[in-house]
Every structure is written in C-alpha cells, then in structure tokens.
Chains A and B, each alone.
Chain A
Amino acid sequence: MNAELLEIRDHMARFPPFDELDDALLDKLASEVDVAYFKAGSMILEADREIHDLCYIRSGAVEIYRRNDELYNRLGEGDIFGHFNLLRNNRVRFPARAMEDTLIYYIPDSIFYRLCEQDDNFAEFVEVEKPRLQATVEAQHKRNDLMSTRVRKVISRLPLLIESDATARDAATRMTRENVSAALIVEPAEDASMAIYTGADGRQWALCGILTDADLRQRLVAEGLSPDESIATLHSGELITIQSDETVQEAMLSILRNNVQHLPILHRRRPVGLLHLSDIIRYETQSSLYLVGSILNQSSLRGLVSLKHEVQTAFERMVRDGSDSKVIGTALSAIGRSFARRILELAEEELGPPPVPYAFMVLGSMARDEQTLVTDQDNAMVLSNDYDPEQHGEYFKTLAKRASDGLAACGYAYCSGNIMATNDQWRQPQKIWRRYFTEWIDNPTSESLLHCNIFFDLDAVYGDERLVEELEDLIVNKAPLSERFLAAMARNALNRTPPLGFFRTFVMEKSGKENRSINIKRRGTAPMVDLIRIHALACGSRAQNSFDRLDDIAQTQLLTPNAVEKIRYALEFMSMARIWHHLYDVEAGRNPDNNIEPADVSNSERHNLKDAFQVLSNAQSFLQFRYPSPRG
C-alpha cells in the first residue's frame, strides 16, 4: 500500500529543482526516498565507493571535497549533491562529510534519470553546462513576458476568514476592525467535497461563501433581522472565484461579467486574497512614468517633498510586476534625476540664471541607472572654464546647497563621504576636473582608486551636458592605455570578496568564520559592478550601466562570451535579491537596508545566491590574470 509521508513531500516541494515538478512526479519521488541520519563529522559519501542515489539535505550541513581533500563546497538544507557522481559512472568523485548532524534523503538513481528525461527544468538544474542561476534568471524573464501581471500581485493582504456559525454582529465587528468591506465565510469540512483546503491550524476547511457590506445592508438591516442572527443565512452562497495565476485582465473581466464587487482569489483551493475593483484602479495609477510626469510639474519644493512616498509605491509596483533589475534601476534613476532637475530649475528661478554655464552631474548608481531604494546622493558640479571664484563663487555655492538640501528633503540622504556639489573640492571648473581625472589615472593611490569607483560612473542631469561629456571622453581615451592604472584598479577590486556559502542561520566566510548577516551590496553587487567597470574602462566603453557595459565588453576579447553571460546572470540575480530584500523591509514597515539575513532568504534564493557569489569570486580571480601589474 502506498502510504504518503507528507513531511518528505512538503519539504522537497519547497526547494529547487523539485519545487517546479508537477504533482505526479513529485508524489512518485517522495514515495521512494530513503532516509539516513549522519552525526556531525561522519562521512556521507566516501571516495570511489559506488553510489546509486542522489542525496538531498533535509536538515544539517554538508561539506563536499575534491579528491585531493581540498574543500569544494558547503551545502545546507534543501541542497542536493551526488549528481555529478551519478552522471559519471556511479563512482564517488566528490566525497561528502556531515558538518553538523545531518538528515539525508536518498533519491534512487532510477528516479533521478527519469526526472532528467521527463522534466526539462530538472535536467537544466542538474546539468553542468547550464548553471541553475541562468535557468532562474531566464525563468523570471519568461514569467514576465508571458502575459501581463498575475492577479496575485495585486492583492495586498490575506482575506478575512469568518466561520459560518459567527453572528452578524461578530462578523461586522471583525470586518470593521480589519477595515475590509467583505469577508470569506468558511466552515469545518466534514466530507471530501470540492472546496476543501487545509488551514494553517492543520484542520480541513471548506470555503462556503462571501459576506459583503451590501449583504449586511440588504439581508440584515433592510429585512429588520437581529444582529445576533448567524451569518449562515446572510452570505451569498454562490461563489465566483479566480485562480491566483490568472491575469489582472481576466479578473477585471470576471468582475464586470458577473456584476460583483469582490472576487475571491484562490491558490488551488486555498483562499489567498479578496480582490476589489478599486485594487485594480489603484494598481493602474502607480506607474513610475506617471510619477516622473508629476515631479516635473511641481511648482515648489514642498510639492516635490510630498511626492517622496510615491517613489516607494512605484518601486513596490515594479518589483511585484516582475520587472528586471535594469528596468527598476533605470526607473528609480529617472525619478531621482527628475527630482534633481526640478529642484535646480526651481532654485534658478529664485536665484536668477547662472552667470556662467555649468553642469550638475550625478555619480555612482544614479549615473549607472542602477538606483535602488536605499541610496544617498552622490553629485558634483562641473563649471565652465570661464568661472571666476571671486565673481561667481557665491552663486554656485548657494545653488549647490539648494540642490543638496532639496534632494535630502525628497529622501536622498546626504552623502556620508561628502561626495556632493556642496563640497568645494567637487564644485570646480572643467579644467580642474581634467586635472583630477588625469592625475588619478596616471598616479593611482589608494584614495584616488576609491574616487575612480565613484566618479568614473558619471552623467549630467542638468545644465550644459557637454561639460560632462568631455570628461567622459578623457576617461575613454586615457584609461584603456594605462596598464598601471588598470592593474591598480584590479588589485583594489579584490578588497571586497563574496562569502563562500549561505546557510540557514549564518553566512560562511572564506576564512571559515560565520556571520549573522551579509551586506548584499558591499559583498555582492558593488564588487561585481566594480569589476565590470574595470573591463569597461579597459575596452573604452562609454556605457555607464553595468549591463550595457557588459554588452560592450562582449564585443572584445577581454572575457569569453560564456564568462560575460555568467556575470550578467549573477549580477541580475544579486540585484534582484537586494531589491526583494528592500521590498520586504518596506512592506514590514522597516527602513530598507542591504543586510540580508539568511533566515529571511527563500530557499531557491539561497541556492542561487551561492552560485552568484561563486561567479563573482571566479571573475575576481580572473581580474588579476587579465590586468597584471606591469613589470618594473
């Protein structure tokens, strides 16, 4: 008899590649695993033994070694190992040892081979040629392209569920307290009818109707019934629902076609939301384009400040829509640039036109179009060479202060490193800037290298753009020829390395040390952006955006096409992980930061992050090889 062990099935269903398996394959798989416990320190796979199972880590942690005893990888809950051995003569090439007390699920090789044959996603995951990171990023894009948005992305909260034996008064009280105009009515399920699902309490429930404000008005108040009446007689029993993976468009049509106000959203049989027509309207007006329009229309700083919260809303919307990191980064940068531009326009209206031409330039992430929610302002002013400090100094000093204070009021914090136009050093005529840049390239110092990482991502947002473009020319002409500069940049890029692995409750450093959390910007996206910048400088790319730079690098021989693609996927993945982390923070009412705690990372993310860190680490090692220090 086939007895089902739900603990096994439900666990595997949460981890890639099993999370994408169809139910029948997953059931089959879960019903054939063997289980084994390994004490911390004991061997799970010994070198050269025969192996006939894929190993899945149910709990604990495992170290994988090369045959020369060198540590190859560290794995945690939900990770699989042994597949390389299965694909190569069923002999253990990579021995495995339990780091902690570990519970392993053995998946028989017969099932493993069958999964590889029958499920493309699974095959892709375990195949060596197609890293899972790439598979994930491609899948994200596929989902995005499929059709417009899924209805589950519009719902903002779980539906209010009320048991059918509650009184009308109870129901109305709870609806008022939760500030909703409708609730779903459920009853304990006795028989296996259609609409049964298992609640968080482990009990079986059946969805039996919906109760709305209108029901309370029409069927209770207007009929003169008592508030102590059970809602069983009040609610509308006939239920029109929609599955959570239908499109918003489909939901809208269903609301109109059936002439209802509320549409329960189900995931299979479980209610996950209650959609109201107003949700759709709200959704439609939160676009970032709309926001840029209203920024540029504001006639006062106060008006601009009032739009500050809309940035967050637009951000949330884009992330939930499944936009990729480039779309989100570009949109947030466009919003930031619009704020800067409008603030300067308003300041000029008040201070009068500038006495000599100038350009206000942004640096770093905004220049690269890679802005996120967590950001401070990095900016500077390039003044015309006709600038005379005696005559014009006060004007530009005031203008810079207006810009910086205005941006701070709109949510762009002052730069802690004082990289702002208010700093006299960074408010200079173009000839001084040329001198700075030339000096930095010709005589790199540890301080100037840090400056290059900020100032060599630059873009004009307001004023005479040619002033900035000419500086870009200088960099593009000079940097590719300076071996010494590139080598210094390459060495400097190694100061920030990724961690080795990501676990349930800690991050494993290369040194073997454990950390509570990881700064995904400092240890992930920023070092990746740094190394892309070096290749871009080497090939004379004019692009500022890291993905655009990768396109330029791909045209050269600096990196193999394969390496470029890997870097692209890894950057995209780390950027999205950071963006989602910001979103979760915002939704939880916290100030978004870059510190990712392993416990908050979903399982599939954990696997992919590890892969992305590996790509970064390999790409960093390659830098030293590509840009060696010149002899002598």
Chain B
Amino acid sequence: MLSLRNIANIEQPGWPEYMAGRAREARDERLKRFFEAGVPDPETPLKNVRLVALDLETTGMDVNRHAIVSIGMVPFTISRIQSGRSYYRVVRPRRLLREESVLIHHITHSEIASAPDLNNVLGELLEHLTGFLPVVHYHPIERRFLNESVKVRLGESLMFPMIDTMVLEARWQRQSFRARLNKWFGGQPQSIRLHESRERYNLPFYRGHHALTDALATAELLQAQVAHRFSPDTPVKKLWV
C-alpha cells in the first residue's frame, strides 16, 4: 500500500488544466462531455461546490485481478445531502466473482448475472458525475478502478479531482504534531477507516460494504469534517487530491 503522504502528493498538476486538455483530446463522446464540464475554480468556497459522494464495491483490492461490482452515488453540498437523488448500480464484472466477496457485498450471483456491463451504464454514471466534485473515502480504489475499467473498454483513461475524507482524516490523525508525538511515545495510531472516522464525529453506525450506504456515510463524514475542521468559506483546492 502507498504511504498516505505519497497519496496526498500525487496528481497535483492543476486539475482545471488537466480537465481542459482531456476535453480536447477525448474520443468517446461521453468522456468528452464529462471533461468539458470541467471542475470548479480552485478558489471556490466549499459552500458553493456541488459534491457527489462516490463509492465502488470491488471484488478485491488489486486492480489487475479484481473488478467493480457496484457503484453508489449521493449528491450533496456541505449543508444538505440529497439522498433522494442517489444512484446505485450493480454491474457485471468481466472477471469471476470469488465466493467470499459475494458475502461482503450482499449481492447474489443472480443479481450480478442479470447486471449490465460497466460500458452500458458509463453514460449515466458520467452524467451523475458531471458538474459535481466527487468525494470518496480512500481514493486510490475509486481512481484506479474507474480508470482501469474505462481504459480496458474504451482505450482512454478517466481521471478527475476528488476529495478524500480519509486523506483529510490522516492529516489530523496521522500527520498532526500531536499524532507524531503520540507515535514517538509508542502509541497506537488512530484508525482512519470509514467507520472509526465517523465515530470520532459521533456519526451513527451503519452496516458497511454497500456502495450506496458507504457513499452516504462518506458524505456525512465530509459534512462533519467541514463543521469541525474547516469553514464553509475554505477554498476547495485545500481539500481535493
């Protein structure tokens, strides 16, 4: 696994420029439309940014061996989560499903057998992302799996800026002065997994590993992080990766 500090530092080319470049070059119409919509100005205050919590459930962690089985999205702002506009899809992976992962995701074989290929839902998936800044918990999963799945199908890549609630949590729980002090004295680091992070903000317990529930859980976590650590006027560039 990459160290968290490295994650925070990769892909910082200036997202608006990157998106504009891709909008010119993209061959697939759906990708083109998505990139053309661009990203908010890096100075935009958080309160004016339209966000969408995104979660993928995959058959495993290795992008070369595993695949996406479900996608959940919930649009929101830092003051309201619009759960009624959420989006959820089960997709059929091209690779075989291992037994144990089926258990984790509460998705049965029959559900997957009748599910569409990602390519068939890519249009609606991108529509739900267009004009929104995605928010995830542990972004390497979403970034790599979406990119890889689209590359395999269209020969083009799909990348975009995201806010990662885990990276934000790591800033305070792992990299703060107090956290390092704790580490020097042999203390156990605080967990920055979704469930434990939520607990620190007194958010309720949710049954995990359902893409839609996890997306909602992530949206709530970002609201809590902003309420406790930022302000509605913080520029968005301070958060995205």
- A residues contacting B by CB (< 8 A) are 1, 3-8, 31-39, 42, 58-60, 100-101, 103, 106, 189-192, 202-204
B227 touches A39 (CB 8 A): yes
B23: shortest Cβ distance to chain A, in Å? 27
A37 and B212 contact, CB distance less than 8 A:
no
Chain A interface, DSSP helix/strand/loop, else mixed: loop
Q: Let me know if B207 and A7 touch, CB within 8 A.
A: yes
CB atoms of B206 and A7 under 8 A apart: yes
Known: A34-B82, A34-B84, A37-B224. A5 touches B201 (CB 8 A): no
Residue of A nearest to B82 (CB): A34
A-B contact pairs, 9 of them (CB 8 A): A1-B88, A7-B207, A33-B84, A35-B81, A37-B224, A39-B227, A42-B227, A191-B108, A192-B110
- A1 contacts B87, C-beta separation under 8 Å: yes
Cross-chain contact of A5 among B80, B106, B109, B216 (Cβ < 8 A): B216
Given contacts A37-B203, A42-B227, contact A191 B110 (CB under 8 A): yes
Bits for B78-111, please: 1 = Cβ < 8 Å to A, else 0.
0111111011110000000000000100101110
Docked pose: A37 CA to B203 CA in angstroms: 9
User: Which chain A residues border B74 with CB–CB below 8 Å?
Assistant: 5
Report the minimal beta-carbon distance from A190 to chain B, rounded to whole angstroms: 6
Q: Is the CB of B87 within 8 A of A3?
A: yes
CA distance A68 to B8 in the complex (A): 49
Query: Sorted from nearest, which 7 A-B pairs have the closest CB atoms?
Result: A3-B88, A101-B202, A35-B81, A37-B223, A39-B227, A59-B204, A32-B84
Q: Tell yes or no: B220 within 8 A of A by CB.
A: yes
Complex: chain B residue closest to A1, CB-CB? B87
- Answer whether A60 and B202 are a contact pair too, CB < 8 Å, given A191-B110, A202-B106: yes
B110 near A34 with CB under 8 A, answer no
- B201 near A37 (CB under 8 angstroms)? yes
Please measure, in the bound complex, the distance between the C-alpha atom of A190 and the C-alpha atom of B224, giving whole angstroms: 39
A190-B109 contact given A35-B81, A58-B204, A60-B202, CB 8 Å threshold:
yes
Q: Which residues of A contact B213 (CB under 8 A)?
A: 5-7
Q: Which of B90-143 contact A (CB under 8 A)?
A: 103, 106, 108-110, 124
Tell me which residues across on chain A come within 8 A of B89, comparing CB atoms: 1
Partner of B83, one of A33, A38, A42, A203: A33
Residues of A within 8 A of B228 (CB): 39
Is B219 an interface residue when CB atoms closer than 8 A count as contact?
yes
Q: Is the CB of A101 within 8 A of B86?
A: no
Distance to closest chain B CB from A58 (angstroms): 6
Q: Mark B17-33, 1 if CB is under 8 A from A, else 0.
A: 00000000000000000
Complex contact A35–B88 (CB within 8 A): no
Interface size on B, residues (CB 8 A): 35
Whether B86 and A5, one on each chain, are in contact in the complex, defined by CB atoms closer than 8 angstroms, is yes
Query: Known: A3-B72, A101-B201. Contact between A35 and B220, CB under 8 A?
Result: yes
Name the one of A31, A35, A106, A192 contacting B219, with C-beta atoms under 8 angstroms: A35
Pick the residue among B80, B108, B124 that contacts A34 (CB under 8 A). Answer: B80
Q: Could you tell me the distance between the alpha carbons of A189 and B219 in the complex, rounded to whole angstroms? A: 32
Bound Cα distance A599, B79 (Å): 31
- Residues of chain B having any CB pair with chain A under 8 Å: 72, 74, 76, 79-84, 86-89, 103, 106, 108-110, 124, 201-204, 206-207, 210, 212-213, 216, 219-220, 223-224, 227-228
- In the complex, which residue of chain B has the Cβ closest to the Cβ of A59? B204
Distance A302 CA – B202 CA, assembled complex (angstroms): 57
CB-contact partner of B227 in A38, A189, A192, under 8 A? A38
Q: How far, in Å, is A82 (CB) from chain B's closest CB?
A: 15
Q: How far is the CB of B203 from chain A (nearest CB, A)?
A: 6
Tell me, in angstroms, the Cα distance from A60 to B210 when the chains sit together. Answer: 24
Closest approach, in angstroms, between the C-beta of B165 and any C-beta of chain A? 12
Closest chain B CB from A163 CB (angstroms): 15
Query: Do B206 and A101 touch across chains, with their CB atoms under 8 A apart?
Result: no
- Give A202's nearest chain B residue, CB to CB: B106
State in angstroms the CA–CA spacing of A527 and B202 once bound together: 36
Interface centre among B83, B201, B212, B223 (most CB of A within 10 A): B83
Q: Which residues of B contact A190 (CB under 8 A)?
A: 108-110
Contact partners of B216 in chain A: CB under 8 A: 5, 7-8, 35
Taking CB atoms, residues of chain B closer than 8 Å to A4 are 88, 212
The CA of A5 and the CA of B85, in the complex, are separated in Å by 11
Known: A33-B83, A59-B204. 6 other contacts (CB 8 A): A3-B87, A103-B204, A190-B110, A191-B108, A191-B110, A203-B103
Residues of B within 8 A of A35 (CB): 76, 80-81, 83, 216, 219-220
Report whether B224 and A5 are in contact in the complex, using a CB–CB cutoff of 8 Å. Answer: no
CB neighbours of A8 from chain B (8 A): 83, 216
Which residue on B lies nearest to A188, using beta carbons?
B108
Contacts of B84 in A (CB 8 A): 31-34
- Chain A nearest CB from B79 CB (Å) reads 6
Closest to A32 in B: B84
Least Cβ–Cβ distance between B231 and chain A, in angstroms = 12
Shortest CB distance A101–B (Å)? 4
The chain B residue with its CB closest to the CB of A3 is B88
A42 to chain B, nearest CB (A): 7
Q: How far is the CA of A4 from the CA of B124 in the complex (A)?
A: 18
Known: A6-B213, A7-B213, A36-B223. A202 touches B207 (CB 8 A): yes
Q: A1-B88, A7-B206, A59-B204 are in contact. Are A37 and B108 (CB under 8 A)?
A: no
Nearest CB in chain B to that of A60: its residue: B202
Q: Is A3's CB under 8 angstroms from B108's CB?
A: no
Q: List residues of chain B with CB within 8 A of the CB of A60.
A: 202
Cβ–Cβ < 8 Å partners of A39 in chain B: 224, 227-228
B202/A59 in contact, CB under 8 A: yes
Which chain A residue lies CB-closest to B222? Answer: A37
